[in-house]
Chains A and B, each alone.
Chain A
Amino acid sequence: MKNERWTIGLAVFFIITSALTLFVWIPIDIETGVVETFRRRVNIGDAMAPTVVAAAILVVSILMGIMALIRPSPNLMVKEGLDKQSFNFLSRMIIPLGLGLSLMLYAGPLVVDFINTMGGEISTYRQLKDTFPYKFVGYSLGGFVLVFGLVRLIENRSSLSAAWAAIIAVLLLTLLYEVPFDNLLLPPNGDY
Chain B
Amino acid sequence: MGLLDHIWLGIVTVFTADPVFAIAGLPISITIVMVFFGFLFGIFVGATPGIGGPFAMAISLPILISIFGFNPDALLPVLGFLVGIMKGSTVGGAVPAILFNTPGTPDSLMTTLDGYPLTKRGQPGKALRVAHFSSVSGDTFSDIVLITCAPFLAILVEKFLDFPEKAALIILSLAFVSAVVGSNVWKGLLAALLGLFMAYVGTGEDGYPRLSMGSDYLANGFPLISAVLGVLILGEVFKAFEEMWREMRETSTITNVEVKGDNKLSLSDVRRILPYIGISAVIGTIVGALPGIGNTLAATLGYATGRKIHKGDPAFGEGAIEGIAATEAANSAVAGANLIPVLSLGIPGNISAVFILLATETISGFNPGPAVFRLVPGQINQEMVYAFGLFTTMIFANGLNWTMGGIFMRWMGVMVKIPKQRLLPIVLLLTLTAIYVQQTSMFAVYVTIGFGFLGYFMRKLKLSVLAFVIAFILANNLEESMRQAFAVTGADPWFLFAGPVSISFMVLAIVVVVFFARNQKNLS
Contact = CB atoms under 8 A, between A and B. Distances in A.
Nearest to B425: A150
Given A56-B193, A57-B194, A97-B449, A63 B186 contact: yes
Interface in A64-100: 64, 67, 73, 75, 78, 80-82, 85-86, 89-90, 92-93, 97
B238 A31 contact: no
A179 to B, nearest CB: 12
Interface in A89-122: 89-90, 92-93, 97, 101, 105
Contacts of A169: 425-426, 429
B415 interface: no
A31 B425 contact: no
Task: Say which size band chain A's interface belongs to.
Answer: 35 or more
A153 interface: yes
Interface in A52-67: 53-54, 56-57, 60-61, 63-64, 67
Interface string B474-514: 01001100110011000100000000000000000000000
Interface in A28-60: 29-32, 35, 41-50, 53-54, 56-57, 60
Interface string B170-203: 0000000000000110110110011011001000
Going nearest first, the 6 A-B pairs with the smallest beta carbon separation are A190-B440, A64-B186, A46-B204, A150-B425, A42-B491, A187-B436
Given A61-B190, A177-B437, A154 B421 contact: yes
Interface stretch (B207-215, B286-294, B295-303, B355-363): B207-215
A142 B509 CA distance: 48
A57 B457 CA distance: 18
Contacts of A176: 63
A31 B244 CA distance: 48
A151 to B, nearest CB: 5
Contact of A29 (B186, B207, B213): B213
B170 to A, nearest CB: 12
A170 B430 CA distance: 9
Given A57-B197, A184-B437, A186-B437, A50 B486 contact: no
Contacts of B184: 7, 64, 73
B441 A190 contact: yes
Contacts of B483: 43-44
Interface of B: 63, 66-67, 183-184, 186-187, 189-190, 193-194, 196-197, 200, 204-208, 210-213, 238, 241-242, 244-246, 248-249, 254, 421-422, 424-426, 428-430, 432-433, 436-437, 440-442, 445-446, 449, 457, 460-463, 475, 478-479, 482-483, 486-487, 491, 517, 520, 522
Contacts of B433: 139, 143, 173, 177, 186-187
B186 A30 contact: no
Contacts of B426: 147, 165, 169
A92 B238 CA distance: 12
A49 B479 contact: yes
B197 A50 contact: yes
Contact of A32 (B206, B249, B486): B206
A162 interface: yes
21 contacts: A6-B461, A7-B187, A29-B211, A30-B204, A31-B207, A32-B206, A49-B196, A57-B190, A64-B190, A75-B522, A78-B183, A89-B246, A146-B429, A147-B428, A147-B429, A150-B425, A154-B425, A156-B248, A188-B436, A190-B441, A191-B442
Contact of B210 (A46, A89, A190): A46
A42 B432 CA distance: 44
A78 B462 contact: yes
Contacts of B194: 57
B460 A93 contact: no
Given A49-B196, A57-B197, A154-B241, A44 B66 contact: no
Given A184-B437, A188-B442, A150 B428 contact: yes
A180 B437 CA distance: 13
B30 to A, nearest CB: 14
A186 B435 CA distance: 10
A177 B440 CA distance: 13
Nearest to A64: B186
Given A46-B206, A50-B210, A186-B437, A60 B189 contact: yes
A26 B190 CA distance: 19
Given A44-B482, A162-B422, A185 B440 contact: yes
A188 to B, nearest CB: 5
Contacts of A153: 241, 245
Interface string A152-190: 011110000010011001100100110011001111101
A136 interface: no
B461 A47 contact: no
A95 B213 CA distance: 29
B196 A187 contact: no
Given A49-B200, A89-B242, A165-B422, A154 B430 contact: no
B106 to A, nearest CB: 14
B482 A80 contact: no
Contacts of A44: 479, 482-483, 486
B470 to A, nearest CB: 15
Contacts of A162: 422
A150 B520 CA distance: 38
Contacts of A54: 197
A92 to B, nearest CB: 8
Contact of B193 (A53, A78, A147): A53
A89 B245 contact: yes
A184 B66 contact: yes
Contacts of B67: 180-181
A57 B479 contact: no
A22 B242 CA distance: 35
B515 to A, nearest CB: 15
Nearest to A42: B491
A76 to B, nearest CB: 12
Given A25-B211, A67-B517, A150-B424, 10 more contacts: A10-B190, A32-B206, A44-B479, A46-B210, A86-B460, A151-B425, A154-B245, A173-B429, A173-B430, A184-B437
